[in-house]
Chain A
Amino acid sequence: MTHRLFRLPVLAGICLALAPAAWAHHSQSEYDLKGKVEVEGTVTKVEWKSPHAWVYVDVTDDKGQTVNWSFELPSPVTLMRRGWTRDSLKPGDRISVAGAPARNFPAIAIANSIRDSTGKPLFTGTTKTYEQ
């Protein structure tokens, strides 16, 4: 996917790592945004707090071990403006998550897609806005 941000005239050396998110309070350089993580598991906890919501997911790996993954979401404020609430995702929910992994830590990622057990995408609403 071509990212329009990358066509902006930014200084050399400050490019992909600084591509921000609307909800972000940080540079996101802690994530390998070209990397890909895809897991399926059970929600164990949801942190509905600023500056970012986090969802924790128990995932069974190839060896049968359970690994608790942490996925970063937009801020609760952004999610609420897009129609979601602190109860939209609950412990016990089965979900699949795709995202980009943290560079320096295992089992941590930023979520780009979350789907429920039927494959329905979650957290995908857009903000109501008026533009001229």
Chain B
Amino acid sequence: MLLVWASTPVVAGAQWLNYPTPGIPRLATGAPDLKAPAPRTPDGKPDFSGMWFANVPSKDYCREKDCIQEERMAREQINLGLNLKGGLPYTEWSREQMKIRGANGGREDPHSYCMPPNFPRAWTLPQHSRIVQTPGMLVILHEFNAAYREVYLDGRPLPVNPNPTWNGYSTGHWEGDTLVIETNGIRDDMWLDIQGSPVTESARITERLKRPNFGLMQVEIAVNDPKAYTRPWSVTIEMAIQVDTQMLEEICLDNERDTKLYKK
């Protein structure tokens, strides 16, 4: 295990950014015991509750020595198929879409215009997520635009011909210690990553959540979208628990100025 404590200049009382998270396993040093067993709910299911961020090191991708523009993120934020042999199996339609999307340096990315942090892309974004797990529903909060996503665990079926939305409609069921989330009803114009990998209304997305220990969550993302991909595919994103911190509001439209700089 590699434990990284930052050389951050700690600011006492800066909200709850350093307030100890109660009730978590800790080592004698006071650091969280990341290898401790995953917590479980009273009915014995793994409990995914907690704050999560992609399992990447701090001070990652520093552009300059001072590292103001630290580029800490899941690599899959650029290309979700990064670790898929041969890459994502784009259809010809998808390849044409990506030419259009990439033609202007990716500036047409909905994320640039402060659109919602759509899942599954949101797992790779540089903002934090918080999972709140109850017996009948998993709620995923996301810092970007203070967004939310509901995953129903009450056995209901996926909706038929639903009105498309950014996060679609999600239900979950248990397969052993794996929570299987099925999603349909997403929009036709979403990007899965910065390079513009498409996903369409015809997609059925399956996410398989596993928590092998306290510190780690694995999210397998499987996409079946015959319009955009020649075959179903899946990738896995690793998420690291975030403790002794808090969710911070990041409302993109508050002071969005960059899109105005794209063209004179």
Contact = CB atoms under 8 A, between A and B. Distances in A.
Most chain A beta-carbon neighbours within 10 Å: one of B57, B58, B60, B256: B58
Contacts of A128: 4-6, 8, 18, 58, 244-245
A62 interface: no
B163 interface: no
Nearest to B56: A131
Contacts of B2: 131-132
Contacts of A47: 255
Interface string B232-251: 00000000111111001111
B262 A126 contact: no
Interface stretch (B108-116, B133-141, B151-159, B201-209): B108-116
Main secondary structure of the interface of A (DSSP, over half): loop
Interface residues of A, number: 66
A80 B32 contact: no
A129 interface: yes
B61 A50 contact: no
A77 B69 contact: no
B8 A14 contact: no
B78 interface: yes
Q: How large is the interface on B (under 10, 10 to 19, 20 to 34, 35 or more residues)?
A: 35 or more
B1 to A, nearest CB: 6
Contact of B67 (A52, A85, A124): A124
Interface string B27-56: 000011011000000000000000001011
Interface string A50-94: 111010000000000000000011111110111111000000000
A20 B71 contact: yes
B176 to A, nearest CB: 22
Contacts of A123: 66, 68
B98 interface: yes
B257 interface: yes
Contact of B34 (A13, A29, A104, A130): A130
A8 B105 CA distance: 16
B105 A78 contact: no
A84 to B, nearest CB: 8
Given A10-B78, A110-B69, A128-B58, A51 B240 contact: no
A20 B126 CA distance: 10
Contacts of B254: 49-51
Given A14-B196, A104-B264, A126 B61 contact: no
Contacts of A129: 4, 6, 53, 57-58, 72, 240, 242
A52 B59 contact: no
Contact of A50 (B4, B70, B109, B252): B252
A80 B17 contact: yes
Interface in A113-132: 113-114, 121, 123-132
A52 B102 contact: no
Interface of B: 1-11, 14-15, 17-18, 31-32, 34-35, 53, 55-61, 63-73, 75, 77-79, 82, 87, 98-99, 102-107, 109, 111-112, 114, 126-127, 143-144, 194-196, 213, 215-216, 240-245, 248-252, 254-259, 261-264
14 contacts: A10-B79, A10-B195, A14-B196, A22-B60, A25-B114, A25-B144, A50-B255, A51-B256, A52-B255, A83-B10, A113-B65, A124-B67, A126-B59, A128-B244
